[in-house]
Structure 1
């Protein structure tokens, strides 16, 4: 088996695509899925994750629910405006019921257990708010040593999507994101929305997915509310698949081109709350002007072969060769 992977997620339509991408990839050993509040409340994100795994016939994968709110401050609102009332365009109920029960432990306990049970490094894809991951690092520092890479979908280099400054996942729990991205405990790859917007798929791509078979058709059927939101946001008939882009990097390291730079998260309560401040100045300039630390810094995904990435996603989700 190839990449050993755990996904921490808040499904969400693009999260559903990301889970399916891992679940359907033969070169991925999907060890577990943990859930967090975010696009919709925790009960809904947990249900959605379990049903996507059932759709992919992956009832072997354990699922544990995690944080229902941020570390410190209340969560202002979910992203129902993009994902629909149930997180899957109102269509969660048509997905198959899972055969496997929820794990009798919380997400942080499952994460720690899976990490401690495996000798070789594990990749963790964090594609929702980072509350569970921050709690893991605080409560189980030895488990952090088993994380080979933490691939995070979140942040932005230019402007936000939830506020003028902040991307949704980071804005949902800036304190957790600050802990994870600046603590230096695990190697981080940050996949910001600047790149994931550029990786958006169009109606032709979605039609090919829908015609690929039962799983592809079921995934496409989850997109109407999300697609309607992104037609307006993107200005064409298509949608962003943010989280699937991050999981693609988790599965195939290097499919995204990265730079390395310090990252800070704005945790004030002003208009910039949740902004990711990526210092892309030359290292010598940073050191000479503000005494910046030498790292380890996160890798920031900045580019990819767009057509190659879309082909990779379609191949894995739809079985295209």
Structure 2
């Protein structure tokens, strides 16, 4: 049927677009959705995920709730100032109510069961804090062989969005992010702010999607909080659908151009807590200064894409054009 996919998410406006992109794509076998704290508390992210699947007509997709807080230290604040108090610009309750019950098991248990039952390796797309994924890999190390790759929206090479140095998903649980990106031997693709900001969509794109009706029209109706926030962040009209860029890569491997780099995550309590430290020096230069290198592991980092092609890919699917 195409890409076998599990999405781990904290909806969130950009998560809403990302979940919907996978849910309406005929070439995706969406096995399940798991939720995590992040943009808003877990109770809100969970009902949002369920309502979005109802919007997309996908009662077949199970949803399980996961971590309600980080592994070690409390999350200082949510991103309600970007997404609205309910995560969807105050409009979550305007979406269809789910007809499928929330799974009685937790997120990690659901992921394990889905992975074990799959007849081929599964892609996981974590588009929120990495707490559930760290717990999965820590508690079930043998499950790694059932994971094709983990496509992560998170981090920044040259800037952050929550602090000067840190992107929100990584900053929300740096210890979990370090466990996944640095300490585990699982293929990872990191989709950072540097690229997602370049993939921003303008008001004309949104207006055309709104006019398409259906899922695309409903999603644009949820962007009110984004439309207030992003002109300040970008310095121009438009919004950034961060998580949708990562899910596009999960669905269509290679739609993003990647380069392999050593990486570390700052888990200290200085001004760079939560920063992704990506070593972009040439290998020969790193070898001359081994005492200053990041860990030996490397991660595929998304650095470029056909911007218009990516926007068209997302538009065509959400509008029902493809």
Give me the whole-angstrom Cα distance separating, in 2, the residues matched to 1:103 and 1:92: 20
2:317 is aligned to 316
Give me the whole-angstrom Cα distance separating, in 2, the residues matched to 1:293 and 1:155: 16
Which segment drifts farther, 20-29 or 230-239?
A: 230-239
2:124 is aligned to 124
The answer on 1:254 being equivalent to 2:254 is: yes
2:307 is aligned to 306
When the two chains are superposed, the root-mean-square deviation of aligned CA atoms in Å is 1.2
SS in 1 for 2:112: helix
SS in 2 for 1:145: helix
Which segment drifts farther, 132-141 or 285-294?
A: 285-294
SS in 2 for 1:261: strand
Give me the whole-angstrom Cα distance separating, in 2, the residues matched to 1:119 and 1:60: 19
Give me the whole-angstrom Cα distance separating, in 1, the residues matched to 2:8 and 2:98: 18
Deviation of 1:143 (Å)? 1.2
Tell me if the contact between 2:137 and 2:184 (Cα under 8 Å) persists in the aligned partners. Answer: no
Which residues in structure 2 correspond to 1:246-285 (within 5 Å)? 246-285=246-285
Tell me if the contact between 1:187 and 1:296 (Cα under 8 Å) persists in the aligned partners. Answer: no
Normalising by structure 1, what TM-score?
Answer: 0.98
Q: Structure 1 residues 180 and 198, CA, compared in 2 at 3 Å: closer, same or farther?
A: same
1:297 is aligned to 298
Deviation of 1:295 (Å)? 4.9
SS in 2 for 1:171: helix
Tell me if the contact between 2:263 and 2:294 (Cα under 8 Å) persists in the aligned partners. Answer: no
Give me the whole-angstrom Cα distance separating, in 1, the residues matched to 2:295 and 2:287: 8
Tell me if the contact between 2:264 and 2:295 (Cα under 8 Å) persists in the aligned partners. Answer: no
SS in 2 for 1:123: strand
SS in 1 for 2:289: helix
Which segment drifts farther, 212-221 or 58-67?
A: 212-221
- Regions of 4+ moved over 3 Å: 291-296
Deviation per residue, 1:65-112 (Å, 9 max, x gap): 000000000010000010001000000010000000011100011111
Give me the whole-angstrom Cα distance separating, in 1, the residues matched to 2:255 and 2:121: 19
Deviation of 1:296 (Å)? 4.6
Deviation of 1:119 (Å)? 2.8
Give me the whole-angstrom Cα distance separating, in 2, the residues matched to 1:214 and 1:237: 24
Which residues in structure 2 correspond to 1:15-164 (within 5 Å)? 15-164=15-164
| Number of corresponding residues | 321
2:179 is aligned to 179
Which segment drifts farther, 117-126 or 28-37?
A: 117-126
Deviation of 1:2 (Å)? 0.3
Deviation of 1:314 (Å)? 0.1
Deviation per residue, 1:234-271 (Å, 9 max, x gap): 12221000000000000001100000001100000111
Give me the whole-angstrom Cα distance separating, in 2, the residues matched to 1:149 and 1:165: 26
Deviation per residue, 1:181-235 (Å, 9 max, x gap): 0124210000001100010001110011111122111101000111110011112
Which residues in structure 2 correspond to 1:183-194 (within 5 Å)? 183-194=183-194
Tell me if the contact between 2:153 and 2:192 (Cα under 8 Å) persists in the aligned partners. Answer: yes
Deviation of 1:306 (Å)? 0.4
Tell me if the contact between 1:156 and 1:193 (Cα under 8 Å) persists in the aligned partners. Answer: yes
Q: Structure 1 residues 27 and 295, CA, compared in 2 at 3 Å: closer, same or farther?
A: farther
Give me the whole-angstrom Cα distance separating, in 1, the residues matched to 2:239 and 2:31: 29
Tell me if the contact between 1:184 and 1:295 (Cα under 8 Å) persists in the aligned partners. Answer: no
Give me the whole-angstrom Cα distance separating, in 1, the residues matched to 2:316 and 2:306: 15
Give me the whole-angstrom Cα distance separating, in 2, the residues matched to 1:61 and 1:296: 34
Deviation per residue, 1:279-313 (Å, 9 max, x gap): 01112222331165895511000001100000000
